[in-house]
Amino acid sequence: MPGRFNFHEIKRQKDRRVALLFFLSSLGYIIAGISVWWITKAYFYYSSNEHVRNLNIGLSIKEVLIVSGIVLAVLFINWMFVLSKMLSSTISRLNGEPPDENDKYHRVFLNIIEELKLASGISNITPYVCMDRAVNAFTISDLKGNIVIGVTEGAVGRLSRQQLEAVIAHEMGHIVAGDSVSASVFVAMMNIYGAVQRAIAGAMKGSIYISGASGYRARHRERDGGGGILLYLVVLLVVLTVLKFINMLLVFVVSREREFRADALAVKVYRNPLALAEALAVIAIESRVSQLSADETLSTLFIAPLSDKVSMFSTHPPLKKRIEVLLGMAHYHGTVEDFLKEVEKKHEIRDKNRVQRSMFVVKEKAEEYFVMQAGKWTGPFQLVDLMTVGLSWDAFVKKGQDGDPKPAVEHPEIKEFVFSSGAQRSISISESNVDKLLRCPKCDVPLKEADYEGTVVYVCGECGGILVGKRSLDKILIRKEQGFSEGIIEEGNRIIKISKNMNRFPKLGRVLVCPRCRIVRPKFAEKSKMFRRLFSTYAPIEIDVCMRCMLYWFDLGELELLQYVMEHWEKEGRLQRV
Amino acid sequence: MLFMTLFLLLLIVAVTAVFIITYNKLVVLRNRVKNAWSQIDVQLKRRYDLIPNLVEVAKRYMAHEKDTLEAVIKARMQAINVSAEDIKAKAQAENFLSQTLRSLFAVSENYPDLKADRQMMQLHEELVSTENRIAFARQFYNDEATLFNTHLQQFPTNIIGDMLAFKSFDLFEAEEKAKEAVKVDFS
């Protein structure tokens, strides 16, 4: 085993493997092309008027070569074209974004990628995180050497570090072995098959329609009526389907071996077979509330299949088998079922022990600053207000009524605040520090940046309200760090009961001014306030949304409520969308 | 006579060619080893930079564990002072530093407040990642160094290599304990 699963060995064999793949698939297409040509020839021969039977309907070498040439040219163009767009189109289809350095969980993901770059010696890997609740990961490469590793928010937020390490190392194993290139080529090929099949189906429909018209029959004097062309197309379709079938079978047989190999490589890197087994167990246990497109061909790229169908054409060996192999490596005493139960229990325990971190920040007495402007002391200002006042570095500022007047540049907190918010030359608003200037839409107090469920939110110290961006909100609803208090649980259950009878969707008008619009578009903000509405019919919690900024405002406790309710529906298996 | 001179000429050309090819190959491999080493260096520096923050945060909660903290600081100083030229000594110093860090984390198990501190959690993650990176960089370096060493030891490269003053590289040895799977569960 050590010899076979050595990174170097596998890298060496990779080129051979990929070359073999290209050769075989080109061969397949050439055979398909020649068959098509031959059938076409036969058709036109038989449907022609002269029954000159002793005409050769065989294929000359020249014909074979020409057809092969055309097929290869078409293939080449198609591969280049499809693969160049494949990376970007797949990522946007999966709703992927580059990881956020400030997000605690994404940071772990980024670190693991760096570790694997060192372990494998492959450095041009671009990480992405896809917005999906399910735990999954994938990797794609195009032929130009761009490689992408993607994980879902579910994977990043719900797996422990060791489990995430194992999952990503598995994907790395695919990259090192060249599977991701073959898989991408396979997906591209399926596209070609699909396109050709659609074209034929279209032609078939056309011919059925046309063959009914007497004009066509008369013009071509078919022996067997319009059925001739139909027969031709049907035969074509059958041949193509057979070839596609064989192709798929080959690939699926090979991809099972691939998954086991990638699993073994993951273990080789982090030496933790149990962690990978646990990750696979989590995938097996958790309800598959994935909104990722169930495009079966794409499935080959993921660590776990996108749908539950287990068949001869499954792109992966059964999860249980993989877990069994891994448990063997870990010398686990027990069956796969025992293990799954253990993992489930661990999850339950972790769920029960969730900590309640209060988001309500204790109100500190804010420092007040006074600024000497045109000979007079103006103020009081809060630190944040100094940004809008038009302060110059040499203007005198005193802290509090009795403070010592000093030039602004000599106040360390002012300097620090300005530099940390990105404005260096002058103390003014820029796009990068808008977020420091947000104020509570209810209390008008500056909002504080806080970390919740690993991502950034803005909290009001007075009313406990929270301002969240859409993407951060999606992440929060997937993550499960926060524990729920008795009060939240009670209120949550009440809301769940109400939602069962809810089918209307009342809009409650526009009440609050969006904190961001207020700074960036002040004139517009008053006219275009945030919408007050219910989050959804199955989670009827009142929120305010600004559609322009994609910002959500929650009053005290409403965010935890929403989390509680969403988790309830997830447990019930009712969630199909994030 | 002409034949002899031609033959001699060809021989000289051939030998020179072999020299050049071998030299170039050795240079390429040696640079790969140097590159791999610099990777380790980058990660070691990362660790040096993280440790002072770690000690600062830990001090706030673990005031009584002065010995453990001081051991870490001392080990860090020692490791920084070992020159990168002496690979064996560097490896030893770094392994020792890893040991002190492990003791620190083991002791911090008794301080749940420290574990829950946000800054500490961030630092812990960064340190875990750094340890992993050092391990992988070390593995990679050892692989490259072994490749170079093997090539250098093979015939006829060994003769040529000797003449051109190529030396084999020391491997960055792991300590015995580190070879077991380390699973520190901070969840």
pLDDT tens, residue by residue, A237-251? 777 777 777 777 666
Contact A451 B122 (CB under 8 A): no
pLDDT tens, residue by residue, A419-433? 655 544 445 555 556
Contact B136 A119 (CB under 8 A): yes
Whether residue A108 lies within 8 A of chain B, CB to CB, comes out as: yes
pLDDT tops 60 at residue B187:
no
User: Can you spell out the DSSP letters for B90-133?
Assistant: HHHHHHHHHHHHHHHHHHHTT-HHHHH-HHHHHHHHHHHHHHHH
- Is there a contact between B22 and B157 (Cβ–Cβ < 8 Å)? yes
- Amino acid code (one letter) for A474: D
* Percentage with pLDDT > 90 across chain A: 15
| Edge-to-edge strand list for the sheet holding A406-407 | A376-381, A369-373, A396-399, A406-407
pLDDT tens, residue by residue, B58-69? 888 888 888 888
How far apart CA A257 and CA A327 sit, in angstroms, is 18
Label residues A335-345 b or e (16+ Cβ within 10 Å = b).
Answer: ebeebbeebee
Contact B39 A112 (CB under 8 A): no
CA distance B137 to chain A (A): 6
In this complex, the residue of B118, B122, B133 whose CB is nearest that of residue A115 is: B133
Contact A118 B126 (CB under 8 A): no
User: What residues in B contact A108, CB-CB < 8 Å?
Assistant: 125, 129
Return contacts of A448-454, CB within 8 angstroms, 24+ apart: A448/A361, A450/A359, A450/A361, A451/A104, A451/B118, A452/A357, A452/A359, A452/A476, A452/A482, A452/A559, A453/A157, A453/A479, A453/A481, A453/A482, A454/A103, A454/A104, A454/A105, A454/A106, A454/A157, A454/A479, A454/A481
Name residues whose C-beta falls within 8 Å of residue A107's C-beta, 6 or more positions apart in sequence: A99, A101, B122, B125
Overall average pLDDT of the A159-172 stretch: 93
3-state secondary structure A103-127: CHHHHHHHHHHHHHHHHHCCCCEEE
Residue A412 vs residue A574, higher pLDDT? A412
How far apart CA A561 and CA A540 sit, in angstroms, is 10
How far apart CA B69 and CA B100 sit, in angstroms, is 8
| Edge-to-edge strand list for the sheet holding A466-469 | A448-452, A455-459, A466-469, A551-554, A539-546, A531-536, A507-510
pLDDT tens, residue by residue, A496-516? 888 888 777 777 788 888 888
User: What residues in A contact B125, CB-CB < 8 Å?
Assistant: 107-108, 111, 161
pLDDT tops 80 at residue A464:
yes
Chain Cα centroid distance, residue A39: 44
Question: In terms of CA atoms, which chain B residue is nearest residue A267?
Answer: B181
Would you call A202 exposed, middle or buried from its count of C-beta atoms within 10 A (0-12, 13-18, 19+)? exposed
Q: Domain B2-179: what homologous superfamily?
A: LemA-like domain (1.20.1440.20)
Torsion over CA: A222, A223, A225, A226 (sign): negative
pLDDT tops 80 at residue A168:
yes
- Is there a contact between A454 and A104 (Cβ–Cβ < 8 Å)? yes
Contact A119 B139 (CB under 8 A): yes
Rg of chain A over CA atoms, in angstroms?
32
CA distance A272 to chain B (A): 7
Whether residue A451 lies within 8 A of chain B, CB to CB, comes out as: yes
In this complex, the residue of B39, B118, B187 whose CB is nearest that of residue A451 is: B118
Contact A107 B132 (CB under 8 A): no
pLDDT tops 80 at residue A252:
no
How far apart CA A178 and CA A435 sit, in angstroms, is 44
Contact B136 A104 (CB under 8 A): no
Overall average pLDDT of the A566-576 stretch: 77
pLDDT tops 90 at residue A169:
yes
Quick one: pLDDT at residue A578?
39
How far apart CA A529 and CA A545 sit, in angstroms, is 9
Rg of chain B over CA atoms, in angstroms?
24
Overall average pLDDT of the B33-48 stretch: 91
How far apart CA A68 and CA A20 sit, in angstroms, is 18
- Is there a contact between A192 and A170 (Cβ–Cβ < 8 Å)? no
pLDDT tops 60 at residue A557:
yes
Q: What is the largest CA-CA distance in chain B?
A: 91
Residue B77 vs residue A384, higher pLDDT? B77
Helices A161-177 and B118-153: crossing angle in degrees, nearest 10, is 30
Give residue A467's pLDDT band: very low, low, confident or very high (50, 70, 90). Answer: very high
Mutate to test the interface with B, among A118, A172, A346, A347 (most CBs of B within 10 A): A118
Closest CA to A105 of A499, A476, A506: A476
Residue with tokens 């870990």: A330
The bridge status of strand A369-373 relative to strand A376-381 is: antiparallel
Q: Return the domain boundaries, chain B.
A: 2-179
Quick one: pLDDT at residue A577?
46
Enclosing H/E stretch for A546? strand A539-546
Contact B136 A116 (CB under 8 A): yes
Tokens (6 digits) for A310: 């287990």
List, in sequence order, every residue forming a beta bridge with A552; answer none if it has no partner: A468, A545
Closest CA to A178 of A6, A4, A10, A296: A10
Contact A160 B129 (CB under 8 A): no
Contact B181 A272 (CB under 8 A): yes
| Distances from the Cα of B124 to the Cα of A467, B51, B74, B130, angstroms | 29, 10, 20, 10
DSSP assignment, residue A133?
S
List, in sequence order, every residue forming a beta bridge with A138; answer none if it has no partner: A150, A302
pLDDT tens, residue by residue, A90-106? 788 788 899 998 899 99
B111 half-sphere exposure, CB direction, 13 A CA radius: 19
Tokens (6 digits) for A136: 């999954």
* Percentage with pLDDT > 70 across chain A: 79
In this complex, the residue of B43, B125, B137 whose CB is nearest that of residue A108 is: B125
A492: three-class secondary structure by DSSP = helix
Whether residue A574 lies within 8 A of chain B, CB to CB, comes out as: no
Question: In terms of CA atoms, which chain B residue is nearest residue A109?
Answer: B129
| Distances from the Cα of A34 to the Cα of A28, A65, A68, angstroms | 10, 9, 7
- Is there a contact between A316 and A256 (Cβ–Cβ < 8 Å)? yes
In this complex, the residue of B121, B122, B136 whose CB is nearest that of residue A118 is: B136
Contact A271 B181 (CB under 8 A): yes
pLDDT tops 50 at residue B9:
yes
Residue with tokens 């001081």: B70
How far apart CA A230 and CA A244 sit, in angstroms, is 21
φ, ψ for residue A509, nearest 5 deg: 85, -175
Give residue A554's pLDDT band: very low, low, confident or very high (50, 70, 90). Answer: very high
Contact A119 B140 (CB under 8 A): yes
Give residue A170's pLDDT band: very low, low, confident or very high (50, 70, 90). Answer: very high
Q: Please count the residue pairs, one from chain A and one from chain B, whose beta carbons lie less than 8 angstroms apart.
A: 41
Return contacts of A399-403, CB within 8 angstroms, 24+ apart: A399/A367, A399/A368, A399/A369, A400/A367, A400/A368, A400/A369, A400/A370, A401/A368, A401/A370, A403/A369, A403/A370
How far apart CA B84 and CA B89 sit, in angstroms, is 9
CA distance B184 to chain A (A): 10
Contact B133 A114 (CB under 8 A): yes
Name residues whose C-beta falls within 8 Å of residue A153's C-beta, 6 or more positions apart in sequence: A129, A130, A131, A132, A133, A474, A475, A478, A479
Quick one: pLDDT at residue B31?
93
Quick one: pLDDT at residue A283?
86
Tell me, yes or no, if the pTM score tops 0.90: no
DSSP assignment, residue A159?
S
φ, ψ for residue A468, nearest 5 deg: -130, 140
pLDDT tens, residue by residue, A282-318? 888 775 556 555 555 666 677 777 665 555 556 678 8
